[in-house]
Amino acid sequence: MTTPPADAADAFPARDPGLQGERTALSWSRTALVIVVNALLSLRSGFVSDQPALIVVGVILIGAAIAAVIYGNHRGRALSGHTRHLPTAAPALALALAAATTLLACAAGIASVLVAH
């Protein structure tokens, strides 16, 4: 029987990344797409009805969508094993910001529909 090399930690990954990283990146991309749709809806309603608050919310949501794409790509790479650091869970701040952004996007979508009618 042969003994494992001295750098066995580098030769054998700590875990099998599987498709978890890809699924994570795709879910963040879908979240960003929904945020962009709500942002565009909010911007359109803001410009049509001359509501500056909806325009501001739309711009904030576009920034949040960009942040979601960047974070999703980073998280997907980390879970796929492309980076050295393999986090076990997303930071609580990232989850809280994603939840707050989702609520803001929902509120903007509802507000833009109500303003349009």
pLDDT in tens, 92-109: 887 788 888 888 878 877
31 in Cβ contact with 68 (< 8 Å): yes
Task: Encode 43-52: b = buried (16+ Cβ within 10 Å), e = exposed.
Answer: bebbeeeebe
Separation of alpha carbons 79 and 21, rounded Å: 5
Tell me, what's the pLDDT at 64?
86
Confidence check: pLDDT of 73 > 70? yes
Separation of alpha carbons 19 and 9, rounded Å: 21
Confidence check: pLDDT of 43 > 80? yes
